[in-house]
Amino acid sequence: MVSLPEISDLSPDAIKAKIRSPFWKQIILNKTVDSTNTVASGIAEKAEESTIVLADSQTKGRGRLGRLWISPPGVSIYMSIILKPLIDICDVTFITIMAAVACANALRKSTNLNVTIKWPNDLVCSGKKIGGILTELKIEHNRLIYAVTGIGINVNADINTFPADVRDIATTVKNETGKVFRRTDIIADILNETEKWYIALNKGDKDTIISEWKRLDSTLGKEVLVITASDTLSGIAELIDEKGMLMLRLPSGQLKRITTGDLKILR
């Protein structure tokens, strides 16, 4: 794999210069890949924890359930981080929770936008999706071998270039601010924040992560529709539990644990 020195405003050296600690070791920059998660998964077993795979564009960027992630060149962030946390496999959902908290804080810092989180993996601004997180895992004999946490953030993309169905639900930093941002600066902020929250995760400090999630969350307490593979449920999004799952208060009063699904805010 060839690691490129820089592509327009993406520069591993400039990112490293802005990172506060030596935790982040290798940043591999590619011009175009199918998916940074695929590239990172291919090297994850042998790679050191905290290796980062970046790309200027993706041809098959993916979301959950194999959905397409729109990944035009030159404008946005497509990044996968290889992590090997010392956590119980029951807690793996917390990797995405931790990354969402880190990304929302980093985006708030670098763009001044009021970025919030929507369970389980959405970064939201003005009610629209500005970014998403996809964590993929390798588990063997009940042990987590590695996690690849993929982060996609729409930075300087023009929302009018997105396909109509995504345009309606998505936004970009440029669309929200009217300004162009250096991707390098945002990535460095994401890595600085991720390190901080990853340390909390590795220490088992889930309470601190959950309380930060609550501060950044825009859905808790709201009436929502939860669409899972087998069900569509409505209720009040009540809390994130100690495993990172959403607890939904059903109209019957029963509290139901939701492990995965898509969430739409009704009111």
Contacts of 13 (CB under 8 A, 6+ apart): 5, 6
Contacts of 127 (CB under 8 A, 6+ apart): 265
Under the binding rule (CB under 6 A), the answer on residue 75 touching ligand BT5 is no
Is 195 exposed, middle or buried (CB count within 10 Å of its CB: 0-12, 13-18, 19+)? middle
Under the binding rule (CB under 6 A), the answer on residue 64 touching ligand BT5 is yes
| φ, ψ for residue 186, nearest 5 deg | -65, -40
Under the binding rule (CB under 6 A), the answer on residue 166 touching ligand BT5 is yes
Contacts of 178 (CB under 8 A, 6+ apart): none
CB of 70 to ligand BT5, least distance (A): 4
Segment interacting with ligand BT5 (CB under 6 A) among 10-18, 163-171, 194-202, 232-240: 163-171
Q: In what order do the strands lie in the sheet with 143-153?
A: 27-33, 52-58, 77-83, 143-153, 128-140, 122-125, 116-118
Segment interacting with ligand BT5 (CB under 6 A) among 41-49, 55-63, 195-203, 253-261: 55-63
Tell me if 133 sits within 8 A of 150, measured CB to CB.
Answer: yes
- List the interface residues with ligand BT5, window 79-138 (CB under 6 A): 79-80, 121, 129, 132-134
- List the interface residues with ligand BT5, window 213-252 (CB under 6 A): none
CB of 137 to ligand BT5, least distance (A): 14
CB of 2 to ligand BT5, least distance (A): 19
How many angstroms separate the CA atoms of 164 and 155, rounded? 18
Q: How far from chain centre, in Å, is Cα 4?
A: 24
Tokens of 187: 């990535």
Among 111, 154, 184, 192, binds ligand BT5 (CB under 6 A): 154
Give the x-and-dash track for 15-34 against ligand BT5 (CB under 6 A): --------------------
Among 7, 24, 78, 124, binds ligand BT5 (CB under 6 A): 78
| Closer by beta carbon to ligand BT5, 32 or else 211 | 32
Pairing status of strand 52-58 against strand 77-83:
antiparallel
CB of 18 to ligand BT5, least distance (A): 20
CB of 112 to ligand BT5, least distance (A): 20
Number of Cβ within 10 Å of residue 168's Cβ equals: 10
Can you give the binding site for ligand BT5, defined by CB under 6 A? 35-37, 58, 61-64, 67-70, 78-80, 121, 129, 132-134, 150-152, 154, 166, 169-170
